[in-house]
Amino acid sequence: MTFPVDVVVMAAGKGTRMKSSKPKVLHRLGGRALAQHVIDTAARLSARSVVVITGHGADQVEAGLTAPAGGATALRFVRQEPQLGTGHAVQQAAPVLPDDGVTLVLSGDVPLTRADTLQALIDLCGGQHLALLTLDMANPTGYGRIVRGADAAVQAIVEQKDASEAQKAITEIYSGIMAVPTRLLRGWLARLDNRNAQNEYYLTDVVKFAVADGQTVKAHRISDAVQVAGVNSPVQLAELERAHQRRLADAFMEQGVRLADPARFDLRGELACGQDVEIDVNCVFEGSVSLGNGVRIGANCVIANARIDDGAVIHPFTHIDGEKLGVGVGAGALIGPFARLRPGAQLGAEVHIGNFVEVKNSTLAAGAKANHLAYLGDATVGERVNYGAGSITANYDGANKHRTVIEADVHVGSNCVLVAPVTIGAGGTIGGGSTITKSTEPGALSVARGKQVSIANWQRPVKKKG
């Protein structure tokens, strides 16, 4: 039996314990907002729609979340003002939920529930039953308890503040996640009241309504606490970040990636790895990064929005950030240590970029080398060029950027300034210390510097005695 799934994400809370002006659901885990994780998981379920309930900081939340890629899952927002409890929140979403589907209720601050877990819950619901996601916890303090009858069927969820001492001893807790036929949910929402310790409308009361109506309430119990862990404070966010990163690290190691220490690995975007990839400690990957076969990443590198081809070596403390233009590193290239590749850097095979070299919006053809203390901006560099230490392309005239072309087999000496726009002809040589303002002919030696003057027996000034 197939039926449409509509996901409701509760994201209206203030998150006081975060002690932040930013709404809680926009705090980031693995480089994405907490609630964005939830939305993206809904898309993996092929949900028909995602309805996000906003309240505190609604404008920020609505601006900070995006529909999943692909466009198959629609994203819309409804507001809960004022915030009168979880049941009241879902009441705000009810008018936009079609009766022909199943409503899956998720929390915007619970980011790591797996799609297969949620699919199992939906299957348990089957379009007919109220299904709850539950967890056994050694210390269930603060969570709603699952109350079962003599036949072990779910009878109710009792919130911590309303629980008796006997009920507080129950270790099976409600995760806050449920799947329920929308046609049944609508009627139960209409029966909610706020006669409880918090004077709020509890969504969990739908369980007792279902039992009263003779409906079967089912529970899908899991043992993985991380999947239902919420974020209420910076401490919890940090703990969940490490759990998330360890899961990612384990998955990469299972694919064959060699991580020097999985506890010191951070992925804040998407990472694709070929065979025999090695990643040292304290590396951060952001945006979209691909590593080819045999790539080695040294310690303490930050790499964002880049493609690194087979056999390339990124030495320690290198910073690569392609932003929107991207960065490409060719096969067998050697980068760093302490190198910086900025947007638009495209390096060919066997290119060498050494320590304290910065490359921006430039292409370097196969075999080109800039081994230390240099800047290449808005440049086109040919094959086998050797670019000397301390040399720069002066690409900015104060108003506009200009391009420098260095043709194949050029040798640029140390401490040179190439003032763009300029072309250095193939096979040419630029003498050290030169400032080049005019294009040069192929094969030419070009030197542009002041004449050396030496004065014999020069006496430096002597400091006068007081």
List pLDDT tens digits, range 160-197. Answer: 888 999 999 999 999 999 999 999 999 999 999 998 88
Amino acid 159: pLDDT: 83
> Active-site residue 352, yes or no?
no
Helix (H, G, I), strand (E, B) or coil at 355: strand
Work out the pLDDT band at 450, boundaries 50, 70, 90: confident
Work out the pLDDT band at 69, boundaries 50, 70, 90: confident
Rg of the chain on CA atoms, in Å: 31
Among 37, 129, 315, 372, which one carries the catalytic annotation?
372
Amino acid 361: pLDDT: 98
Mean pLDDT of 106-113: 97
Of 65-74, 220-229, 350-359, minimum mean pLDDT range: 65-74
The fold of 5-228 is Spore Coat Polysaccharide Biosynthesis Protein SpsA; Chain A (3.90.550)
Amino acid 364: pLDDT: 98
Mean pLDDT of 361-383: 98
- pLDDT averaged over the chain? 95
CB atoms within 10 A of CB 321: 19
Say if 5-228 and 259-446 have the same CATH topology.
no
**Which tokens belong to 60?**
């920020």
Percent of the chain residues past pLDDT 90, beyond the cut: 87
Work out the pLDDT band at 1, boundaries 50, 70, 90: low
State yes or no: pLDDT of 353 exceeds 60: yes
Percent of the chain residues past pLDDT 70, beyond the cut: 100
State yes or no: pLDDT of 222 exceeds 90: yes
Please report how many Cα atoms fall inside a 13 Å half-sphere around the Cα of residue 408, on the Cβ side. Answer: 5
Amino acid at 3: F
Mean pLDDT of 237-248: 97
Say whether domain 259-446 belongs to CATH 3.40.50.1220. Answer: no
Domain ranges within the chain, ordered by starting residue: 5-228, 259-446
Q: Say if strands 283-291 and 302-308 run parallel, antiparallel, or are unpaired.
A: parallel
Amino acid 330: pLDDT: 98
Distances 103 to 80, 125, 134, 267 between C-alpha atoms, Å: 18, 10, 17, 32
What is the rounded CA–CA span in Å between residue 20 and residue 22? Answer: 5
Q: Say if strands 5-11 and 102-107 run parallel, antiparallel, or are unpaired.
A: parallel
337: cis peptide before it, omega within 30°?
A: yes
- Please write the tens of the pLDDT for every residue from 272-308: 999 999 999 999 999 999 999 999 999 999 999 999 9
Q: Which helix (H) or strand (E) holds 252?
A: helix 234-254
Amino acid 268: pLDDT: 97
The answer to whether the predicted template modeling score (pTM) of the entire model surpasses 0.85 is yes
Beta-bridge mates of residue 74 = 49
